[in-house]
Amino acid sequence: MATDLLELESAVKKLPGILGCVILSDGDGNPAEIQAFVRLGLDPAEAQKAIQTTVTRFKLEPPLRQIFVFELDAESQFGDRESLERAAELAEQDARARGPATIQSTPGRQARARAGAGARPVIQRVSLTASSWTAESEVSLKMHDAEIIGSAEGERTPHGLSLLAQATIDAAHKLIGMQHFELEAASMVSIGGRQAVLVLVRQEQAPPNLGAALVREGPISESAVRATLAAINRKLQQQLA
């Protein structure tokens, strides 16, 4: 790969939230596209804008016009940096093995490429309000330019994890237009001296999926939403394809 392309890859990887990046060439050896990999929950549209700004600075000839942003579903590994970096390495290897999405002829590959540019919802707002005995949760997700709001209400619990998970699922159901997921359980655990939220979600007759998210500096409520999305995002993306 030419020196300027290696420098471009390096520059893209230094952008906030970018975990990995590959530049792929077309059949004539010209740079065809960038495939970048970001943490689950980062707005792909914002990542694309930042990458495009970086690409423009390099003034490539011919210009590199295709940018695909893929979210890495690594929350099942509790989102720690080492797991995310390993997931990015595997994603880069897979991208190089498959080649550019823009010259693949199979509909499935093209669908995956389009999905990578933002087919997973992004968290906008999370709220949890409570009275003496009951609580209400509301979760707002952004999908492209649309905002989808899910809600749930029920018995008050210390962190409202089940209500937050149920509100997230409600938003997902509104997004795909059908009842597809069923919450089985949500709880907080301690692991390695840190806290994480675990969420079990069942899809029809299939075994339940486990989603997990570390409780970092942000509120526990947001971790509950991230864990729920981690449990359903793969199946959700299939419904949106």
pLDDT over threshold 90, residue 54: yes
> For position 217, what pLDDT does the model report?
60
The tokens of 90 are what? 């595997």
Is the pTM higher than 0.75? The answer reads no
Q: Which fold has domain 3-116?
A: Alpha-Beta Plaits (3.30.70)
Q: How many CB atoms are closer than 10 A to CB 41?
A: 20
Binned at pLDDT 50, 70 and 90, residue 103 comes out as: very low
Q: What percent of the chain has pLDDT over 90?
A: 29
Looking at residue 127, its pLDDT comes to 93
Average pLDDT, the chain: 80
Q: Which fold has domain 122-240?
A: Double Stranded RNA Binding Domain (3.30.160)
Sequence spans of domains, the chain: 3-116, 122-240
Confidence of residue 86 (pLDDT cuts 50, 70, 90): low
Determine whether 120 is exposed, middle or buried from the number of CB atoms within 10 Å of its CB (0-12, 13-18, 19+). Answer: buried
Is 25 strand, coil or helix?
strand
Greater model confidence, 224 or 104: 224
Does the pLDDT of residue 203 top 80, yes or no?
yes
Average pLDDT over residues 192-198: 86
- pLDDT above 80 for 39: no
Per-residue pLDDT of 112-123, as tens digits, reads 333 344 456 888
**Runs of H (alpha helix) within 140-219:** 161-176
Helices then strands, counting H and E runs in the chain, come out as 6, 9
Asked whether the beta carbons of 158 and 126 are under 8 A apart, the reply is no
The reported pLDDT for the residue numbered 204 is 77
